[in-house]
Structure 1
Amino acid sequence: MITSLLLLPVVPMLAVLIAFFGSFAALLVLLSFGPRTGPAVRSFGGVVAPFVGAVAVIFAILLGFLANDIWDRERAAAAAVRTEADSLLSLTALAATFDLPREPLAGAVRNYAQTVVTDEWPAMVRGDSAPAAEFALDRLLKTVARLDLGSAGNGDLRRLLLNAGLAVRRARNHRLDLSRDESEPVKWLMVLVLAVTSQLAVAIVHLDRIRPQIAALVIWTSGVVLVISLLAVHEAPFVPPFAITPAPILHILKVIGGPGMPGAGAT
């Protein structure tokens, strides 16, 4: 259930959260001041206002742990994309530095970058990879391994090129792992349970009059829905609307699409 909620588009997910927490807030008001249940519920009156703070602190701590997991995953995903792009750029820069032929290395890098952008990025929204990208990466590594380095006269050059190619594979694997990763459902469940508990705490300290209770519940519930929605839309780093873009890899296509091989200082 939690996973299904997090996979919803923004508007439906927001609608579900508003309906859920709004319905519970309305139920609390009805229970507190309804003709049948009101007298019994209001008999619990007298709970002091600072009681809300105790529940709110627990809710905030758990929310902070969840937010930290989400932001760490997003930062790691962005770093993986940058590392992948930097490794591709290193391949072309090394080739330019040692005057290696532009093709076929530039073509293999271009094909891989294009396949990642057009095929694999949409697939990562579903937590999948693109077989075409795997095939393009294999072709790139084979191209690096078969380069004729006789004219370069540098035995370490092949090692540098292979290390850059393997760095591309490692960065891609890390990127794919992060696209499939998600916070533990138990953490999300506990956040939702404590959010409901905090609504209950707000209601129980406002049992004397209906209007203050409604106002307090509206304000508190609005904040809860907003903060949970904010975390939910960032849960998956490669899922819109705040998805990490392939801009660093697109930059590689612009660089190697020019008339010459990029120099070592290209960015």
Structure 2
Amino acid sequence: MTWTRLFVSEYFPLFVAFVAIVPLLAGWACYRVAMHPRLVAVFVPRDLQTSYLGALTLPFALFLAFMVSDIWNRETLYAKTVLQEVQKLDAMLDVARVCGPVCAPIDEAVGVYARALARYEWDEGWVRPQAEVSATFEALVDAIGRAEADSAIPTYIRSVLLTGQIELRRLRTDRYFILHADLAPHRWIVVMVLGLLSLVGLAALHVGKPYQLILGLSTFAIAFSMTLAYTVVLAWPTVDESIIPSEQLRRVLE
């Protein structure tokens, strides 16, 4: 079990909600500390320069911006890979149907594999190749293997089918790599630490000032919470079917 499997499951919405609550709880804790009588008695906020807060928030904003940019780029690459899978499946259906009744098992195997992909892997939440999809792919490999041994099928069709099988395996591996390439846990730890430090800096500038604290901490904590939750959701991409021609998608799934 990978660390991502601990979060991505049927409880994924609860995980996103938990992540969103953390900045809000941290903001509330900073408010309580900043309003503590002992701290108010000894701490003088005016001794801090306003640049102090900027020195904390700037690294946080830059790091989060770069992280979100990487995730967006990865989601585009993921969608492009899925589109290539659909196009390859569609092309293999064309070849199998041109081949005629003798290639009917390949036609059926391609359709079963496409439907398994759509159900188990072309969706938000999967973190590794699913056994159900692997089984249908092996069935496709077997069907193409039998076609390779059938002299009634022209050589060029057998070659195209074998090339398509190899390409489908590669695209599936690429999709898995794209999903995991930028999900290192340390990125999320750095974002959380920088965000919490920013909350501490904001509270330090307004120690003993309840209205300024409430306004400053609540707005920053809400913005931090929404951005973090949205980033977590984006981290596990799903297929946007609008980018795939509907007729082509329907053809490989029916």
Same fold by TM-score greater than 0.5:
yes
Give secondary structure in 2 for the equivalent of 1:127. coil
Measured against aligned partners, the alpha-carbon deviations of 1:167-207 in whole angstroms (never above 9, x if no partner) come to: 11111222234455552111111110100111112122223
Q: Where does 1:151-162 land on structure 2 (aligned, <5 Å)?
A: 152=154, 155-162=155-162
Measured against aligned partners, the alpha-carbon deviations of 1:26-78 in whole angstroms (never above 9, x if no partner) come to: 3333333322221122x243323333222221111111232133223322322
Structure 1 partner of 2:207: 207
Determine if the alignment matches structure 1 residue 60 to structure 2 residue 61.
yes
* TM-score calculated relative to the size of structure 1: 0.76
Distance of aligned partners of 1:16 and 1:191 in 2 relative to their CA distance in 1, 3 Å threshold: closer
Q: Where does 1:162-241 land on structure 2 (aligned, <5 Å)?
A: 162-179=162-179, 183-207=183-207, 209-237=209-237
**CA apart distance, 1:134:** 1.9
Among 40, 43, 67, the alignment partner of 2:42 is: 40
Structure 2 partner of 1:264: none
Q: Which is worse superposed, 181-190 or 82-91?
A: 181-190
Q: Which is worse superposed, 222-231 or 166-175?
A: 166-175
Q: 1:144–1:162: 8 Å Cα contact kept in structure 2? A: yes
Distance of aligned partners of 1:51 and 1:196 in 2 relative to their CA distance in 1, 3 Å threshold: same
The unaligned stretches of length 5 or more in structure 2 are none
CA distance, structure 2, for counterparts of residue 35 and residue 151 of structure 1: 87
Higher relative contact order (CA 8 A, sep 6+): 2
Structure 2 partner of 1:255: 251
Structure 2 partner of 1:10: 13
Distance of aligned partners of 1:257 and 1:33 in 2 relative to their CA distance in 1, 3 Å threshold: closer
Q: Which is worse superposed, 171-180 or 228-237?
A: 171-180
**CA apart distance, 1:84:** 1.3
Q: 2:120–2:130: 8 Å Cα contact kept in structure 1? A: yes
Measured against aligned partners, the alpha-carbon deviations of 1:121-165 in whole angstroms (never above 9, x if no partner) come to: 57x83524333322322222332344356575xx44432222122
Count of residues paired in the alignment: 246
Measured against aligned partners, the alpha-carbon deviations of 1:196-254 in whole angstroms (never above 9, x if no partner) come to: 111112122223632112211111111111111110111222xxxxx326785996674
RMSD: 3.2
Structure ranking higher in helix proportion:
2
Q: Which is worse superposed, 248-257 or 172-181?
A: 248-257
The unaligned stretches of length 5 or more in structure 1 are 238-242, 259-267
Give secondary structure in 2 for the equivalent of 1:183. coil
Q: What is the identity percentage for the equivalent residue pairs of Structure 1 and Structure 2?
A: 22
Q: Where does 1:30-109 land on structure 2 (aligned, <5 Å)?
A: 30-41=32-43, 43-96=44-97, 98-101=98-101, 103-109=104-110
Q: 1:55–1:198: 8 Å Cα contact kept in structure 2? A: yes
